[in-house]
Chains A and B, each alone.
Chain A
């Protein structure tokens, strides 16, 4: 239980085991964390780059855009513009953390405490991850996806697969269900079902059907609009889902590809909503563990100083007029709020008692934090726990930029009595997916007429879509849909149509 974990900077596998066990003891007994079993993999810098470019996953299907990311990361890494992350951690069971071989023993301790316990606990307990991701099945599913896509390339040609994937990627951010519906994903089931579908298709295949004339479409004019929309599940904001289920001319394998991309998008969806919390949790956990190890005499002062230096770099938040500023650092913000919660729980001021009557002075900071980690996402986390104390410390202020206002940008609130609540509300909005992603839905399909797919973008606060990008995405959409696609941008407040796009499909696939 005591004695130094290691000396100097060198480590070997026994050291890693010792480090893990020491961290585990602190994590379980002192912090009360509940984690998936850990799997720690030691990799080289090059492998780290590989992992980077396929969104951190150990196995992923092949696509040129990952090559592009690789080239991009590699170039900036070689030029020294960017350091590699010390770790990558995967939301799976067992929870896989990659450690780079170049790290010193201190860094390995930091990474294990950070990833293998901090992130791991968060993945296992946060409600969004519980609801949306299937940690047990993800690796198998990715393996299936990779195999399936490779098979499709063999059967239908690399280009055809690439076109479909390009289109699916363009719509990826609109391929998630934002609200919990019927059931959570089960990747193993999913994989089995895909297999069955394929077998069924093969069993049902009869070349004769190819010769049956397709003829004019049965008219749907009889269906009234309401019924038709209900049948198609409209309005639908999950564009990928809609296409997969209803695009008239997609081949079965194309539907399966859309499905794969959609599932992966859904898997990553919670990560986008919990960046601040996830990194904050991991940082808070590693900070506690490292301090405990040092107090118990298991880390030398020198090693602890090395840790403090990296830690300080990680939680550094440049101010807005600093050339290094590029938005909020999720590590800094998350860690600061969590430390602040600890302070409020253990040693509250009168202000804290007024603002946080439920937790101020209750004394058990871990109970509060574990509850926070389990039940919040960035938006709600900030809107509930950003305290006046922290607003003052970060010297936060709120700018309101109205292009119609000639004079300039208004400073709407600063870190004073009048500003706290407004700043907190505005900052939390910046993390609200409802605000971040444009609100685009399929509203109707003209089934009786030219089968045009109609989409609607609800414009909030005058922010319209970027024209070039929108045209490209719609082109992809039209290619998948195989008929015209239109998108109208409608102002949310006035219901006025601001702009309309219409695109025709480029390729007319052979009739299915």
Chain B
């Protein structure tokens, strides 16, 4: 008999098969991923995890028979006698007529890794080719000191650390000090007695031999300075979520906005190591809030869009230097704005915000069931449209229904972004 230990064999033999399966089930899994992500918080979207897909999209057909007369033998008869008639579906037999028959696998759940999840979620998307392209992909690395190591290049030898260790070793091993030997040699010079001379000589020899055995600096003492590569802070982004929370914004509209922000967040996290989110809500004045308040806090009042833009501008100036941060902003609103505010909005956007932003999206949310063509363009929409016509890098879309969020997002970020030319919905 042989016993073989296979535990050290690489596991994951199924990895390739699993990838093939995912590739094949991509459309299905993608749908499932999107559905799963609808019920999560912005940051939780990235967690990956379980999705379930319908099996019938992925089943392997075989010739199967069904129906007809059936005979079956079952265990556990307690009360039936020959000739009894059991009702087909009822409590008579306690079960359906054909226990153990028929397939019950209508959907199955499986776990996607974080990476797989996000890849499928964002497949096909790319950062829009807008303003400051120079930052978009760049991710430079810097070096920082990170302790010492036992190997490295000679240029990095840390002398002080090496000498300290050598000293400790010499003390521990009792290496004779040169002064001690010199002193004995001086005594030898003056000594005349032969016996004593011989003893001194022997002692000196012994000390010298010991000093030879224990080197002053041993290779094991040597330490090198170690460096570690860390990403430089340039690979970071900030995402501004601007939302109108005045009375006219319904829960439904906020939900639409949330989904859009969620997508944007996931998208940015894939691109940058570090993404900050700033939530700004506004009525006729704006304030920075946390996520909970942003989406669920009650607030009401008039509408002054410029307040939010001003707030964003202030925050950028104080905390996010445009040279270090990639700035993204998405604004969600139902489009209402005070007429007198238009000029302010236009000025803030053109002078302050758009020049420093990588991407600015305006999402006009509506009640579900309404159609945009039934309504005249809102004040804000017309204003932005005008700015866009002047060549400002604005992206704008109208959304009324949950199901449209992803397509709209997809549209905005599609590869080979010609979206700018296409008319908004």
A residues within 8 Å of B by Cβ?
13, 16-17, 20, 24, 37-44, 46-47, 49-50, 53-54, 62-68, 70-72, 74-75, 78-79, 94, 98, 101, 116, 162, 166, 169-170, 172-174, 317-322, 325-328, 394-404, 407-416, 418-419, 423, 426-427, 429-430, 437-438, 440, 457, 459-466, 468-470, 472-473, 476
Across chains A and B, which 3 residue pairs bring their CB atoms closest together, nearest first?
Answer: A319-B76, A67-B21, A463-B68
- Whether A325 pairs with B100 at a CB distance below 8 angstroms is yes
- Whether A70 pairs with B17 at a CB distance below 8 angstroms is yes
Known contacts A42-B3, A408-B85; A67/B20 CB under 8 A: yes
Instruction: For residue B72, give the distance in angstroms from its CB to the closest CB of chain A.
Output: 5
Complex Cα distance, B25 from A170, in Å, reads 18
Instruction: For residue A419, give the distance in angstroms from its CB to the closest CB of chain B.
Output: 7
- 30 A-B contacts (beta carbon < 8 Å): A13-B5, A20-B3, A39-B1, A41-B4, A42-B6, A47-B6, A50-B13, A54-B13, A67-B17, A68-B21, A74-B111, A116-B1, A166-B60, A319-B75, A320-B75, A325-B100, A397-B74, A399-B86, A401-B71, A404-B69, A407-B85, A408-B85, A408-B87, A409-B86, A411-B82, A414-B82, A461-B69, A462-B68, A462-B69, A464-B65
Q: Which residues of A contact B65 (CB under 8 A)?
A: 438, 463-466
Instruction: For residue A445, give the distance in angstroms from its CB to the closest CB of chain B.
Output: 19
Instruction: For residue A61, give the distance in angstroms from its CB to the closest CB of chain B.
Output: 10
- Whether B63 pairs with A40 at a CB distance below 8 angstroms is no
Complex Cα distance, B125 from A287, in Å, reads 60
Known contacts A50-B13, A319-B76, A469-B63; A42/B4 CB under 8 A: yes
Q: Which residues of B contact A440 (CB under 8 A)?
A: 63
Complex Cα distance, B72 from A413, in Å, reads 10
Closest residue on chain A to residue B10 by CB atoms:
A47
Instruction: For residue B368, give the distance in angstroms from its CB to the closest CB of chain A.
Output: 34
Closest residue on chain A to residue B4 by CB atoms:
A41
Complex Cα distance, B13 from A327, in Å, reads 33
- Whether B69 pairs with A65 at a CB distance below 8 angstroms is no
Choose among A17, A63, A318, A466 the residue that contacts B3 (Cβ–Cβ < 8 A). A17
Closest residue on chain B to residue A43 by CB atoms:
B6
Which residues B75-119 have CB closer than 8 A to chain A? Answer: 75-78, 80-88, 92-95, 97-100, 108-111
Q: Which residues of B contact A459 (CB under 8 A)?
A: 68
Known contacts A42-B3, A71-B110, A423-B73; A170/B68 CB under 8 A: no
Complex Cα distance, B69 from A510, in Å, reads 46
Q: Which residues of B contact A24 (CB under 8 A)?
A: 1
Binary contact track B38-74/A, C-beta < 8 Å → 1, others 0: 0000000000001000000010111111111111111
Q: Which residues of A contact B97 (CB under 8 A)?
A: 401, 409
- Whether A473 pairs with B61 at a CB distance below 8 angstroms is yes
Known contacts A409-B85, A469-B64; A53/B17 CB under 8 A: yes
Q: Which residues of A contact B95 (CB under 8 A)?
A: 320-321, 325
Quick one: which of B80, B81, B82, B84 has the most chain A CB within 10 A? B82
Choose among B3, B17, B82 the residue that contacts A16 (Cβ–Cβ < 8 A). B3
Known contacts A62-B17, A465-B65; A396/B77 CB under 8 A: yes
Quick one: which of A75, A94, A174, A426 has the most chain B CB within 10 A? A75
Complex Cα distance, B21 from A166, in Å, reads 13
